Structures are given as C-alpha cells and as structure tokens.
Amino acid sequence: MPGGRSWGWCGGLHRLGRVEESSARLLKLVEGHRLTPAQRRIAHCLVRRAADAPFLSSVELAELAGVSQPSVTRFAVALGFDGYPALRRALREGAEEAPGARAGGGAHPYQQAVLAEIEQLRVLAAQLADPGPVERAGRLLAGSRPLPVLGLRAAAAQARGFGYFAAKVHPDVRVLDEGGSVLLDRIEAAAAAGAGALLCFALPRHPREVREALAVARRAGLSVVTVADSAFAPVAEPGDVLLAAPVGTALSFDTAAAPMMLGRVLLEAMCDALPDAQTRLEEFDARAEERGVFLG
C-alpha cells in the first residue's frame, strides 16, 4: 500500500479458510485503498457489524461510525462504487451467496459466542501464515531498553499480562495502564532512558488518551507497535507496525481471545530475538523454586 504503512495482514486475506464470510468480504473490498481517518472509522464499523452491514442505511452507518452522511458516500466512492447504495447492494449479494448459516446457528447464545470466538482465532491463525510483521515487531521490542507497554481501560489487562511475562525475559519492562498527564510523563521518561519502541494494545472503544499518548511517543522518536482489533484502528498512523486480531462482539462486552493470543505470539517473537531469554527464564525458575513461590 502507498505511504509505507504496515497494515497488519490485510494483504493475506486470500489465505483465510473458515472465517466469517461477511467480515472477510468487507476487508477484501477495502484492501489496497488509501482511506482517510473518517473512512477508516466507517470501514472499522462495517467490519465489526459485518452481519448487519448489508442492511444499514447510510444515515445509520454514519451514526454508528460517528461521521457525517456525506462521509459514508465518499467512502463508497473511494472503494470504486457509484455511491453507498451500490456498495450496500454488493454486500447484500455477497451475503446471499455465502454458504450455510453463521457459526453455531442452532446453538444456545452462550455457545454461539464461544464458536464465534473460535472463528476469530481461525482468522488470526490464517494471518500468521505470514510471520514477517510479528517477527519484525518482536525484534523492535527486544531491542528497546526500557520497553514501555501501553494499554488503557479495556486493553489494560492485555498490557498487564504481556508485561508480566515479558519482565521474565526483558531487563526493563514498564507497563503503562493508567491515563492522565502522568502517562505522558512516563512515556517521555522512557524515551529519555533509551527506549526505542513502545507496544500498545488498542481495543474498542479506543480511548482518546491512547491516541494522545502515541502521538507523544512518536514525537519522542519511539517506534510504535500496536496490537489492535482491526487494521483500521483509529489510533494507528503511517509508519506504525500494526498487528490486527479481531475481537468478539457476541456478548454484552467484547471478548478478546484473539488479541490476547496475538500478544502471546508477539511475546514469543520477542523471546526469539533476545539472545539471553532462555537463560533468564531458567534463572527465574531456579529462584522461584528456592523460595517455594509455586505450589507445583
């Protein structure tokens, strides 16, 4: 894609096997197009509401995406359609052609939610057929001293989990899971201490503070690696390494099994790039055994 952006693995969608047909179709439509921030919000909204997308009016889509109705029209034209009605027709025709029902159509809603999450993991597994982006991100994180790991609100648990394990192999991990002006101070302090990269977990509903924090990180010269729910995450910018893993939306609150798994894969890639990772792990295990940290 022009502009040098690393869009996660959008270009590898032809390798998807059993995935949500509507989500894959929507991603195919936007693949290779340069989109404005407003248009990325529209694309992100359509992907997250893939089941409803063929039936949304332009006004409804504009409200859901938080943009103007003319922005929806311009989005459709940017994808090569005469207007939004033509885009919606294409989505409806694709939905009619899609074989079978949605995953777990006859199951209890709780089961459907689990089955849908399994499909999200299948999407991630297909994306990882190209390990290049995650390996590049792992090298960036391994080489950063210190390594700031950012995650606010819904993404805070992802940042803490990554930071907990990363600290066993990386000499200086700094988890940033609280917002406010102190957050910006901590990012600048990490850069002044020699950090070269920052890892960000960005999940819906994408707090405004995350965008501001990443802007500070970029101005400080840090490379930004973002694990997000979509290749159209509103916090990413050209030049970032953006790794996408879809979230589940079948329950009242989003589920993030795929982003968590991607975080662990990224952790593995970082370990692969740290020459002394295994030694550090063995030393930790020895100390833990001496102190009787674990029951088994």
* DSSP notation for 240-290: SEEEE-PPB-SSSS-B-HHHHHHHHHHHHHHHHH-TTHHHHHHHHHHHHHH
Output Rg (C-alpha) for the chain, integer angstroms. Answer: 20
Instruction: Extract the tokens encoding 43.
Output: 């694309």
Q: What is the pLDDT of residue 17?
A: 33
CB atoms within 10 A of CB 81: 17
Higher-confidence residue of 147 and 30: namely 147
Helix (H) or strand (E) holding 108: none
Confidence band, pLDDT 50/70/90 cuts, at residue 96: low
Higher pLDDT, 123 or 194: 194
Section 76-101 average pLDDT: 77
Higher pLDDT among residues 163 and 238, named by residue:
163
Least-confidence region, from 7-16, 18-27, 112-121, 170-179: 7-16
Strands across the sheet with 197-202, in order? 173-176, 147-150, 197-202, 223-228, 241-244
Helix axes 69-78, 84-97, angle to 10 degrees: 70
DSSP code at position 7? -
Average pLDDT over residues 249-269: 93
pLDDT at 155 over 90: yes
The lowest-confidence range among 50-59, 80-89, 188-197 is 50-59
Task: Please check the confidence at residue 2 and state whether its pLDDT lies above 50.
Answer: no
Q: Which residue has the tokens 């879809």?
A: 246
- For 38-93, give the DSSP string: HHHHHHHHHHHTTTTGGG--HHHHHHHHTS-HHHHHHHHHHTT-SSHHHHHHHHHH
Residues paired with 224 in a beta bridge: 198
- Choose between 48 and 106: higher pLDDT: 48
Query: Mean pLDDT over residues 2-17, rounded?
Result: 36
The predicted model gives 70-99 an average pLDDT of 83
Lowest mean pLDDT among 6-15, 76-85, 148-157: 6-15
Give the pLDDT band of residue 30 (cuts 50, 70, 90): confident
| Backbone φ and ψ of 56, nearest 5° | -80, 135
Min mean pLDDT across 15-29, 121-135, 217-231 is at 15-29
Average pLDDT score, the chain? 86
Read off the pTM. Answer: 0.72
Asked whether residue 18 carries a pLDDT value surpassing 50, the answer given is no
Segment 258-279 mean pLDDT: 96
Q: Which two tokens stand for residue 20?
A: 């949500």
HSE, side-chain direction, 13 A CA sphere, residue 94:
22
Question: What is the C-alpha separation between 102 and 19, in angstroms, rounded?
Answer: 10
Beta-carbon neighbour count of residue 293 at 10 Å? 10
Q: What span, in angstroms and rounded, lies between the C-alpha atoms of 51 and 22?
A: 7
- Spatial CA neighbour of 65 closest among 42, 36, 88: 42
Q: What are phi and psi of 167, to 5 degrees?
A: -65, -15
Q: Which pLDDT score is estimated for 45?
A: 85
Residue 249 has pLDDT above 60, yes or no: yes
